[in-house]
Amino acid sequence: MKVAIFPGSFDPFTVGHASIVERGLPMFDRIVIGVGVNDKKRSFYDPEQRVEAIRRVYANEPRIKVVAYNDLTIDLVRREGAQFILRGLRSVKDFEYERDIAAMNKRLAGVETVMLFTEAHYSDISSSVVRELIAYGKDVSAFLPQPAQTETNLLK
């Protein structure tokens, strides 16, 4: 059974994230979306809202599980019996950071990271830009998967 962890802050989960999950599904038997909770960093949405929003998106996809975690991604990898970490690469800005984290995770836990290049039409979409737009009252519905916005009150 091939299991991948897709870790991130997902604050909030965007159509760019959803595209990585969708493209990862044919490669793995199961994907566990790990919502990272950092007690020292204040988030825009609280962890429960983020988890709930993503669960709604994948309510009909039994191969996807959504969990919150507040330790290292490699700890989540071990708990879930995963062999892979899935990440998206938007630009060269992401590259060096991702390469270092992937190398460290391989060193510490023997886990391989699979990187997918972002589809060009999603490369400008980031959670931080979406948060900024929400803060200024702009419509961000084009950037969030539909089930996530309708029922979770993500658009506060």
Smallest distance, Å, CB 116 to ligand ADP? 7
**DSSP type of residue 39:** T
Smallest distance, Å, CB 26 to ligand ADP? 17
Residue carrying the six token digits 């949405």 = 45
Task: Residue 29: name the closest of 66, 61, 1, 67 by CA.
Answer: 1
41 catalytic per annotation: yes
Q: Which of 9, 19, 43, 127 is catalytic?
A: 127
Q: Which of 9, 17, 19, 43 is catalytic?
A: 17
For binding to ligand ADP (CB under 6 A), which residues are involved? Answer: 8-10, 14, 16-17, 19-20, 87-88, 90, 94, 118, 122, 125-127
17 catalytic per annotation: yes
Helix (H, G, I), strand (E, B) or coil at 34: strand
127 catalytic per annotation: yes
SS3 content of the chain, % helix, strand, coil (to 5): 45, 20, 35
**Looking at the annotation, which residues are catalytic?**
17, 41, 90, 127
